[in-house]
Amino acid sequence: MKQNKWRIISLGIAIFIIGVTFPFWYGKGESPVPPALDLDTPEISLLTEKKCIEDTAFMRTKHMKLLKAWRDEAVREGERLYTAGDGRVFEKSLTGSCLGCHSNKERFCDRCHNYVGVAPTCYDCHIIPGEVKK
Amino acid sequence: MQEVKQRITILTSFLAIAAIAMLAAAIAASKTAGIVLTMVVAYIVFAVFLIGFVYRIIRWAISPVPFRIPTTCGQEKSLPWIKANPLECPFGNLGVIGRMAGEIFLFRSLFRNSKAELVNGRPVYGSSKWLWFFGLMFHVSLLLVILRHLRFFTEPVVPFVGALSSLDGFLEIGIPTLYMTDTALVAGLIFLFMRRVLVPQLRYLSLFTDYFALLLIASVAVTGISMRHFFPVDLNEIKTMTMGWVTFTPVVPGKTGILFYMHLCFVMVLIAWLPFSKLMHMGGIFLSPTRNMANNNRARRHVNPWNAPVRVRTYKEYEEEFREQMIEAGIPVESTGPGEAEKDKQD
Amino acid sequence: MSSLKISQPDELIRISYETPKTAWMDTPTVFRPGTWSYAAAPKNLSYLGLPNPRQWQPSDEDWKLPDNWRQIIIDGMKERLEKYRSFRLFMDICVRCGACADKCHFYIGTGDPKNMPVLRAELIRSVYRRYFTTVGRCFGALAGARDLTIDVLKEWFYYFYQCTECRRCSVFCPYGIDQAEITMIGRELLNLVGCNINWVIEPVANCYRTGNHLGIQPGGIKDMLEFLAEDIFDRTGVKVNVPINKKGADILFVAPSGDYFADPGTYTCMGYLMLFHEIGLDYTFSTYASEGGNFGLFASHDLMKSINYKIYAEPRRLGVRWILGGECGHMWRVVHQYMDTMNGPADFLEEPVSPITGTLFENARSTKMVHITEFTADLIRNGKLNLDPRRNDHIKLTFHDSCNPARAMGLFEEPRYIIRNTCNNFYEMAEDTIREKTFCCGAGAGLGNDENIEMRMRGGMPRAMAVRDVVKKHGVNRLGCICAIDRATLTTLMDYWVPGVNVMGVHELLGNALVMKGENERTTDLRGEPLEGC
């Protein structure tokens, strides 16, 4: 009876500990290397000033917001031109503007998205230029 | 008087939340504090949670269950032709597991909830499932939200997290997608908090910790949702930090912002406080003797480990006192003279 | 009825559920006449060797406590936290969701927030936090902790003797927190410093000495049972035997002493006697084990065990095969959930087999004690009884599930099966007031005394109102039950709230319907009331 009680309690505690420490042993203690974003594309190498449409911090955290705004404005309201913070003008186009420079989706977009477990729906509709060629 | 006290209690819980938020802001502003928080405090918090939680369970477990006291909510198993209720009045372990599963996953007992009111001088019992509905919604959402966060703690991300996230966000409202569990979590919290504040009886019995617990979880949720939808942060940096934790190679995250530090501080307070709070009900429910025991008392003897002897009156002593009367009334007796009881006592 | 003045029902029903002007920790306890029970007489405490016997009343300013009473209580709490997981767990995990609040008959009947089970538990939880948790020690009132003061002790007394340990709250609690368990511990603690009520302690003292709560001595028991046998002869023309302390009988029968002492329990007892005679059962009563009930349950686990002892000691002495138990609520809480653990194992008895039908009562194979409704239901099912339910046609019955058989045993269908076979007019009360959701009579757990009359009527109100509904709807005139306390206290309750409804045990119903060999034609029921069509 008494042994039985501790068997069940230990089992419960074990399940609890295994559950909450799951991340510690799931990766077998190996430190993953944070994704390095590859900017080495032929298009970017041709640029004289290696600068995205907005600054890096903005692009890192808010690119999805920008793309959403572009989608709505371009597709629904027909406004196809975006004026950046520094006055440069770009076409509101994922495939044209973004992928025009970042032509390496797997090594740029996907690395980060996979790392933080994000599944953007962009490519549900958009085609990826590189993949079509293949 | 009472109203004032209640308002002070509610206000204090808001102030406690504000204090944590301010602390977080201060930490965000100081590089050293940020290092301490993310590299040292994080581990301390986790250790406190883990050890505290296990300690509490063991503490409960050490106290024995001297008697088998299930609350029976259905027909017992007796004669074979009477239909017993194996879930509400389990006779065996399987039934107990079923009953516990019902309590833990479906909040079975809360589902019984009713509301008593006096109508025209008689009590009536209306159905009242809102507490069950929002309570269950809140708890399930919280669990799913926590599971979704595994994307920050596993690399490669555990496969089911992706599936869970896309299911959770399948309405595809906004970018990033709005998670249904986020909405449900907040809705549940609002219901639980407003109920506590607005129902006079509930306000009357509520303690600081009751408001604080809800507000703390709400603060975690609100800062988290804000980071997702309104003030996005660099998840790359965050995951680098969290993976640093779980691989014991902690790193200080780069620029993440005040909101993230608030989220982090609220979570840490919640986790570290949990083992010392009423939130331990998440572990305690498994040990509740009125629910986790079978109603087979008369069929299988339950042993009390400390079953102590008590003073009893033996038949001999009884007969000693009433013998004459018993003989007179023609009731059979063991012996016809005194003295036997003394001898018997020594046995 | 009591000599105490009590308001009329239409006045008493005006219950306000508004919360008091002061916070609960600041609201003093007022010992209003009619809402509390007299303190235990010193002679009873002395007889049982319980601490602090003295002359006092709860309404006194000075409770004459020992100097170190606080330490005694704190030590007592510590001991019980270590002995009862239920107590420690229930102190820790309540989230104050309030689901239990309006489930308590005392809360519904008084509107006093301290009668919400959650707050009743907080009375003791607040002290637990102060002395046994770090958070409580450090943060005090902010953590819901408070010092143990004399006012707190008085509050405990008032409200723990305003809980009938019916377990209804525990049905609705998402964690199964059982206020009965907390009340039991609370009362044990109060007992440690001599704060107990006479209506509990005197029956315990009586039971210790004479074997039954009422203090009836062996000769008296025999007289009463023979008197009932004569009544049976008057009604039926059949002479039944009343075996007492008979060695070597098959079965020892233990009933609550209320059943052979006072109306309407006596009619139930006549039902038992007629049944046993008719099936030719080889059984015996015992004068030593002449009480199935156990008021020790309402004082402390030790006293419960102490007076439960004889229920196993006597069958061992008499050499019977197994034990049959009568209709009684809290008796069955003790027999079903405590007896085997406390005073078992009953390895000197045999697994209970009905000598009439050969049915083995598997669910009682360890404790070896069978509930009489299980026993009788089996007899009826096997066609061993000749029943004429038309003899109960003058009765329109509803059935009150007694708290303990309902929520500590799960005995629902057995009595109903007997009822359906012995009575043509049976109407259930509202679903929220029967079975596991049944409402207490308002006077269990030792509170059924006269001085507590107002609180009894308040606590019993939800039950009474449910009866009144079926009275209006179906013309019900009889309330059936399987509990001796019910038979005594529901009678008062009905007189107050629903005049015209009488209370009866299920075996009285059976006694009426039972066609006995060699009986005269019945013209009256067991109460002497004319049968319909006679």
What pLDDT, in 10s, does the model give residues B95-133?
A: 999 999 999 999 999 999 999 999 988 999 998 999 999
Residues of B in contact with C174 (CB under 8 A): 103, 107, 109-110, 135, 285
Query: How far apart (Å, rounded) are the C-alpha atoms in residues C395 and C531?
Result: 9
Max Cα–Cα distance, chain A, nearest Å = 79
DSSP B85-145: -TTTS-SSHHHHHHHHHHHHHH-HHHHT-EEEEEETTEEEEEE--HHHHHHHHHHHHHHHH
Residues C165 and C257 occupy one common structural domain: no
- Integer angstrom CA distances of residue B322 from C7, C226, C242: 45, 19, 20
Say if residue A1's pLDDT is above 70: no
**pTM attached to this predicted model:** 0.94
| CA proximity to B76, closest of C413, C54, C38 | C413
Query: How far apart (Å, rounded) are the C-alpha atoms in residues C502 and C494?
Result: 7
- Integer angstrom CA distances of residue C246 from C253, C285, C368, C369: 11, 8, 19, 18
pLDDT of residue A3: 61
With CA atoms as reference, the chain B residue closest to C126 would be: B207
Chains linked to A by 3 or more Cβ pairs within 8 Å: B
With CA atoms as reference, the chain B residue closest to C20 would be: B2
Length of chain A measured in residues: 134
Q: Is residue A10 part of a domain?
A: no
Q: Is residue C3 part of a domain?
A: no
Contact C176 B204 (CB under 8 A): no
Residues C388 and C334 occupy one common structural domain: yes
Gyration radius of chain C's alpha carbons: 23
Is the CB of residue B52 less than 8 Å from the CB of residue B276? yes
Q: Is residue C89 part of a domain?
A: yes
Q: Which of A26, A31, A117 sits opposite B165 (nearest CB)?
A: A117
Instruction: Tell me the two tokens of residue B204.
Output: 């009357």
Q: Is residue A115 part of a domain?
A: yes
Query: How far apart (Å, rounded) are the C-alpha atoms in residues C350 and C248?
Result: 13
Q: Is residue A123 part of a domain?
A: yes
- Our CA-based measurement puts residue C516 at a distance from the nearest CA of chain B, in whole angstroms, of 25
| CA proximity to C395, closest of C472, C480, C469 | C480
Query: How far apart (Å, rounded) are the C-alpha atoms in residues C482 and C331?
Result: 11
Say if residue B346's pLDDT is above 90: no
Is the CB of residue C471 less than 8 Å from the CB of residue C498? yes
**Per residue in B253-287, pLDDT tens?**
888 889 999 999 999 999 999 999 999 999 999 99
Looking only at the bridges linking them, the beta strands covering B122-127 and C502-505 are unpaired
Domains in chain C, number: 2
- Our CA-based measurement puts residue A49 at a distance from the nearest CA of chain B, in whole angstroms, of 24
- Integer angstrom CA distances of residue B182 from A46, B138, B150: 44, 10, 15
Residues of C in contact with B65 (CB under 8 A): 84-86
Q: How far is CA B174 from the centre of its chain?
A: 34
Residues C452 and C376 occupy one common structural domain: yes
Domain membership of residue C208 as a residue range: 204-513
Domains in chain A, number: 1
Residues C306 and C430 occupy one common structural domain: yes
pLDDT of residue C12: 93
Residues C350 and C429 occupy one common structural domain: yes
Task: Among C195, C216, C232, identify where a domain stops.
Answer: C195
Is the CB of residue A16 less than 8 Å from the CB of residue B283? yes
User: What pLDDT band is residue B339 in, cutting at 50, 70 and 90?
Assistant: low
The number of helices, as runs of H, and strands, as runs of E, in chain C is 23, 7
Instruction: Tell me the two tokens of residue C170.
Output: 């525990």
Residues C217 and C327 occupy one common structural domain: yes
Residues C131 and C267 occupy one common structural domain: no
CATH of the domain at C106: 1.10.1060
pLDDT of residue C534: 57
Opening angle at CA C44, ends C71 and C32, nearest 5: 70
Is the CB of residue C489 less than 8 Å from the CB of residue C461? no
Give residue ranges of A with CB < 8 Å to any B CB: 1-2, 5-6, 9, 12-13, 16-17, 20-24, 26-27, 29-32, 34-35, 57, 60-62, 64-65, 67-68, 112, 114-121
**Per residue in A36-82, pLDDT tens?**
888 888 888 888 888 889 998 899 889 999 998 998 999 899 888 99
Residues of B in contact with C101 (CB under 8 A): 201-202, 205
Three-state SS for A69? helix
Residues C104 and C129 occupy one common structural domain: yes
Residues of C in contact with B284 (CB under 8 A): 89, 92-93, 175
Task: Among C195, C218, C233, identify where a domain stops.
Answer: C195
Q: How far is CA C142 from the centre of its chain?
A: 39
Instruction: Tell me the two tokens of residue C175.
Output: 């964690």
- 8-state DSSP, C480: E
Is the CB of residue B116 less than 8 Å from the CB of residue C103? yes
pLDDT of residue C221: 96
Contact A12 B286 (CB under 8 A): yes
Say if residue B347's pLDDT is above 80: no
Q: Is residue C270 part of a domain?
A: yes
Query: How far apart (Å, rounded) are the C-alpha atoms in residues B306 and C85?
Result: 13
Q: Is residue A96 part of a domain?
A: yes
- CB count within 10 Å of CB C280 equals 10
The winner for highest mean pLDDT among A19-28, A82-91, C204-213 is C204-213
**Per residue in C270-309, pLDDT tens?**
999 999 999 999 999 999 999 999 999 999 999 999 999 9
Contact C93 B61 (CB under 8 A): no
Q: C11: Cβ–Cβ under 8 A, 6 or more apart, which residues? A: none
Q: Which residue has the higher pLDDT, B136 or A37?
A: B136
Q: C532: Cβ–Cβ under 8 A, 6 or more apart, which residues? A: C390, C393, C394
Say if residue B190's pLDDT is above 90: yes
**Per residue in B201-218, pLDDT tens?**
999 999 999 999 999 999
Residues C374 and C497 occupy one common structural domain: yes
Q: Is residue A29 part of a domain?
A: no
Say if residue B292's pLDDT is above 60: yes
For B149-280, where are the alpha helices, taking DSSP H only?
159-168, 180-198, 200-205, 208-229, 235-246, 258-273
**Per residue in C462-483, pLDDT tens?**
999 999 999 999 999 999 999 9
- Integer angstrom CA distances of residue C295 from A13, B99, B303, C206: 40, 31, 23, 10
| CA proximity to C307, closest of C209, C403, C191, C219 | C209
- Our CA-based measurement puts residue B143 at a distance from the nearest CA of chain C, in whole angstroms, of 18
Cis status, amide bond into C218, omega within 30 of 0: no
Instruction: Tell me the two tokens of residue B6.
Output: 């209640």
User: What pLDDT band is residue A122 in, cutting at 50, 70 and 90?
Assistant: confident
Residues C154 and C87 occupy one common structural domain: yes
Contact A64 B61 (CB under 8 A): no
pLDDT of residue C376: 98
Q: Which amino acid is at C71?
A: Q
Give the containing element (helix H, strand E) for C470.
Answer: helix C453-474
Opening angle at CA C407, ends C403 and C412, nearest 5: 85
Contact B247 A30 (CB under 8 A): yes
Q: Is residue A1 part of a domain?
A: no
**What is the residue whose two structure tokens read 């009930």?**
C293
Q: C135: Cβ–Cβ under 8 A, 6 or more apart, which residues? A: B276, B277, C129, C143, C145
Q: B146: Cβ–Cβ under 8 A, 6 or more apart, which residues? A: none
Residue B341 has phi, psi (to 5 degrees) of: -60, -40
Give the containing element (helix H, strand E) for A91.
Answer: strand A89-91
- 8-state DSSP, C33: T
pLDDT of residue A133: 45
Domain membership of residue A64 as a residue range: 36-133
- Integer angstrom CA distances of residue C335 from B73, B301, C175, C305: 18, 12, 25, 11
Three-state SS for C356? coil
Three-state SS for C194? coil
Query: How far apart (Å, rounded) are the C-alpha atoms in residues B35 and C84?
Result: 45
Looking only at the bridges linking them, the beta strands covering A89-91 and A81-83 are antiparallel
Q: Is residue C524 part of a domain?
A: no
Q: Is residue A13 part of a domain?
A: no
Q: Which of B155, B172, B174 sits opposite A27 (nearest CB)?
A: B155
Q: Is residue C40 part of a domain?
A: no
Query: How far apart (Å, rounded) are the C-alpha atoms in residues B165 and C54?
Result: 69
Q: How far is CA B342 from the centre of its chain?
A: 55
What are the structural domains of chain B? 2-287 (1.20.950.20), 315-345 (no CATH)
Q: Is residue C533 part of a domain?
A: no
Local confidence pLDDT in tens for the 534 residues of chain C: 445 678 999 999 999 999 999 999 999 999 999 999 999 999 999 999 999 999 999 999 999 999 999 999 999 999 999 999 999 999 999 999 999 999 999 999 999 999 999 999 999 999 999 999 999 999 998 899 999 999 999 999 999 999 999 999 999 999 999 999 999 999 999 999 999 999 999 999 999 999 999 999 999 999 999 999 999 999 999 999 999 999 999 999 999 999 988 889 999 999 999 999 999 999 999 999 999 999 999 999 999 999 999 999 999 999 999 999 999 999 999 999 999 999 999 999 999 999 999 999 999 999 999 999 999 999 999 999 999 999 999 999 999 999 999 999 999 999 999 999 999 999 999 999 999 999 999 999 999 999 999 999 999 999 999 999 999 999 999 999 999 999 999 999 999 999 999 999 999 999 999 999 999 999 999 999 998 765
pLDDT of residue C2: 46
DSSP C71-102: HHHHHHHHHHHHH-HHHHHHHH------TTGG
Say if residue B343's pLDDT is above 70: no
- Our CA-based measurement puts residue C220 at a distance from the nearest CA of chain B, in whole angstroms, of 9
pLDDT of residue B338: 62
Q: Is residue A30 part of a domain?
A: no
Q: Is residue C304 part of a domain?
A: yes
Three-state SS for C397? strand
Instruction: Tell me the two tokens of residue B304.
Output: 């009390």
